[in-house]
Chains A and B, each alone.
Chain A
Amino acid sequence: MTLARDDLAVPPTPVSRWQFDAKALIAAPGLVFMALAFAVPVLMLVGDSFVDSQGLSLAGYRKVLGDPYYIGIIGNSLQLACITTAVCLAVGYPAAWALARIKGVWQVVLFALIFLPLTVSVVVKTFGLTIMMRRDGIINFLLVNLGFIERPMRLVFTEFSLYFGMVNVFLPFMILPLYSVMRMLDPRLMDASASLGAGPLHTFLRVTLPLTMPGVIAGGTLVFSISVAAYVTPGLLVGDRFMTMSQVMAKAYLNIRDFQLGASMAVIMLVISAALILASSYLVRSPGGEKH
């Protein structure tokens, strides 16, 4: 499920020789449906963000971008996504490496174990996390019994539980793209580097890391884009103590009914996601991170 990568299997069309064929109409139902049910609503949402009861206005954006409170919330979302992505990368890189290097049936088994949690509902996993974080939960149980702390401490509704949960939910999205790149890597390249006199650090920085960069970019983009928009996990694990853009959008529509505020926030999030996808496809094509 390397979702963020530009790898749709589409053969090149000989455009010059294209002419209308009645069979092309088989595409019409799907295209018309997606145009009406997907493109039109999204464009209308963008339009709504520029309109208030008096007509055209930028009041929604002025409210969001002119208020330190909302700027802070955008900052919160970006911080959440940055830290989650960084931790996922730091933990996921060695794990994906080990997974790609293990041979035979074990690789299939371990791969399935990384993959299976992805198919479990985020609501169920987050529910499990809230139970773990309780004062009488397993995290406190382990911390006390391993002698790290004297007596149980409050974990739920802290930033620790937020990041713990975010990494737990999104880590497979980092490992799978990394794994699919590392699996293709010839291990003899690292041996060659070592036999030519490079130390382990030098080999990692000059050989391994550049060759696995497409996986780092794909996984990083994917984790960043889903964690910047995450709603369920932050909502249950910290709630209102750490407001994010998603929380503001949901509140704007479901509680305070300030549609222009919600639409403006949604468009800002849309711009962040689009910028990220463009940046990653540029990085993958540019030298230093070329596709192989």
Chain B
Amino acid sequence: MALFGSLFCRLILGLVIAFLFMPILIVLTVSFSSSAVFAFPPPGFSLRWYASLGNADSMLQAVWLSTQIAALSTAISLVLGTLCAIAITRGMIPGAKAVATFMASPLMLPGLVLGIAFLQAARDFGLRDTYTTLLIAHVVITMPFIMRTVLASLSLFDFAMVDAARMLGRSYPAALWTVLVPNILPGFVSGGLFAFIASFDNYPVSIFLVDVRTKTLPIQLLNQVEMSPDPTVAAISALLILGTIVALIVCDRLVGLKRMASI
């Protein structure tokens, strides 16, 4: 009976993994299809949709914009979030637990609600520049990922090492930079990766902030899927999937995937 139960659970696990990968594999297959319609099975294979990416200007612009916003917002969150996390861990500010919860709370709110809040606030404050508005919003989106991982890393860090560096003549900022930063690098890498992905994939917040000429990739992709879905969309999606896998492998080499996921 127990054996039957465990076989049953394993069967479900296998089916679940097949189920989860189905849409991803379909997108990959379609991107190599020789036909412009999405028939299954595809009539033949070709690389024409990858070749046509070179002409998809609006798509490439969107990729570039999303990369910039994700990289900049992750970097800003890393700096602001780490400084805040140090103060929280060291008990320098009162109500550390409440402050930590506040800094990590944007993750708990529905994305659309955040997006609407940013849209209204940008209007009320007269902030007209789409790029700046997007960047500010994405710092808020990425902050919780940095806070969670950096707080976890700092809780394992021995601050006596910073004091030692200071006694040996380093200033406080220099001591943090040369002693603390290398020690919690794995936290930066995993938090930074998740923050980057969260920003790069964000749809519900960005949809309220973009304009006709400044569109992030998820918005541009969805537009294309709704208006004129063709395998070009699949080709760019396939490249995105490939990019994600490469990033995961690189980070796995640096810090270990299990560790990233459990934090």
Structural contact, A10 and B96, CB atoms closer than 8 A: yes
B112 touches A21 (CB 8 A): no
Q: Which residues of A contact B88 (CB under 8 A)?
A: 10, 27
The segment from A65-73, A245-253, A284-292 that touches chain B is A245-253
Q: Across the two chains, which residue of chain A brings its CB closest to B258? A: A108
Q: How far is the CA of A17 from the CA of B166 in the complex (A)?
A: 23
* A30 CB to nearest B CB, Å: 4
Whether the Cβ atoms of A13 and B221 lie closer than 8 Å is: no
Chain A contact patch, size range: 35 or more
Q: Which residue of A lies closest to B226 (CB)?
A: A236
Q: Are B16 and A171 in contact (CB under 8 A)?
A: yes
Report the Cα distance A253→B116, complex, angstroms: 8
Find chain B residues with CB under 8 A from A212 CB: none
- Contact yes or no, B240 A138, CB < 8 A: no
Q: Distance in Å from the Cβ of B40 to the closest Cβ of chain A?
A: 5
Closest to B111 in A: A229
Interface assignment of A146: CB less than 8 Å from any CB of chain B: no
Near A by CB (< 8 A), chain B positions 108-165 give 108-114, 116-121, 124, 136-137, 139-140, 143, 147-148, 151-152, 154-155
Asked if B195 is at the interface (CB within 8 A of a chain A CB), the reply is: no
Instruction: Tell me, in angstroms, the Cα distance from A265 to B16 when the chains sit together.
Output: 35
Q: Which residues of B contact A4 (CB under 8 A)?
A: 108
* Given the contacts A44-B124, A128-B24, A101 and B9 also touching, CB distance less than 8 Å: yes
Docked pose: A108 CA to B86 CA in angstroms: 32
Instruction: Please tell me if the beta carbons of B13 and A13 are within 8 angstroms of each other in the complex.
Output: no
For residue A241, give the distance in angstroms from its CB to the closest CB of chain B. Answer: 15
A114–B12 Cα distance when bound, in Å, is 13
Among B86, B121, B152, B248, the residue within 8 A (CB) of A9 is B152
Given the interface contacts A23-B87, A119-B248, A270-B113, does A125 sit within 8 Å of B99 by beta carbon? Answer: no
Our pick among B10, B91, B208 for the contact of A98 (Cβ within 8 Å) is B10
CB distance from A123 to the nearest CB of B (A): 5
Which residues of A lie under 8 Å from residue B185 when comparing CB positions?
none
Chain A residues in 8 Å Cβ range of B110: 225, 228-229, 246, 266, 269-270, 273
Question: When chains A and B are docked, how far (Å) is the Cα of A168 from the Cα of B8?
Answer: 20
A44 partner, pick from B106, B120, B139, B155, beta carbons under 8 A: B120
B92:A94 contact, CB within 8 angstroms = no
Contacts A27-B87, A44-B121 given; does A124 touch B27 at CB 8 Å = yes
User: CB-CB < 8 A to B39: which residues of A?
Assistant: 136
- Docked Cα-Cα span, A126 to B26, in Å, equals 11
Q: Contact string, B34-46, partner A, CB cutoff 8 A, digits 1/0?
A: 0001111100000
| Contact A13 to B111, CB < 8 A, known contacts A111-B258, A128-B24 | no
> Among the interface residues A127, A171, A266, which one has the most CB atoms of the partner chain B within 10 A?
A127
In the assembled complex, the CB of B126 is this many whole angstroms from the nearest CB of chain A, namely 14
The answer to the question of B167 belonging to the interface, with a C-beta cut-off of 8 Å to chain A, is no
Assess whether B75 is interfacial by the CB under 8 Å rule.
no
Contact A37 B140, CB 8 Å, known A175-B16, A180-B262, A200-B2? yes
* Contact digits for B57-98, partner A, Cβ 8 Å, 1 yes 0 no: 000000000000000000000001101101111111111110
Write the nearest CB–CB distance from A166 to chain B, whole angstroms.
12
CB <8 Å contact, A141 and B120: no
- Nearest CB to that of B153 among chain A residues? A9
Given contacts A1-B194, A128-B23, A200-B1, contact A23 B112 (CB under 8 A): no
A51 to B244, CA, bound (A): 44
Whether, in the assembled complex, B255 has its beta carbon less than 8 Å from a beta carbon of chain A, the answer is no
B116 A266 Cβ-Cβ under 8 A: yes
On whether the beta carbons of A98 and B9 are closer than 8 Å, the reply is yes
Q: How far is the CA of A58 from the CA of B37 in the complex (A)?
A: 50
Nearest A-chain residue to B9, judged by Cβ: A98
A192 at the interface (CB under 8 A from B): no
**Residue interface mask A115-136, B partner, CB < 8 A = 1:** 1110111111111111110101
User: B residues bordering A, Cβ < 8 Å?
Assistant: 1-2, 5-6, 8-10, 12-13, 16-17, 19-27, 30, 37-41, 80-81, 83-84, 86-97, 99-114, 116-121, 124, 136-137, 139-140, 143, 147-148, 151-152, 154-155, 172, 194, 197, 200-201, 203-204, 207-208, 218, 221-222, 225-226, 229, 233-234, 237, 240-241, 244-245, 248, 257-258, 261-262
Chain A residues at the B interface, C-beta cutoff of 8 Å? 1, 3-4, 8-15, 18, 21, 23-24, 26-27, 29-31, 33-34, 37-42, 44-45, 48, 91-92, 94-95, 97-99, 101-102, 108, 110-117, 119-132, 134, 136-138, 141, 168, 171-172, 175-176, 180, 190, 194, 200, 225, 228-229, 231-232, 236, 246, 249-250, 253-254, 259, 262-263, 266, 269-270, 273, 277
Across the A-B interface, the 10 shortest Cβ-Cβ residue pairs: A128-B23, A229-B110, A27-B87, A41-B121, A30-B84, A30-B80, A98-B9, A41-B117, A24-B92, A9-B155
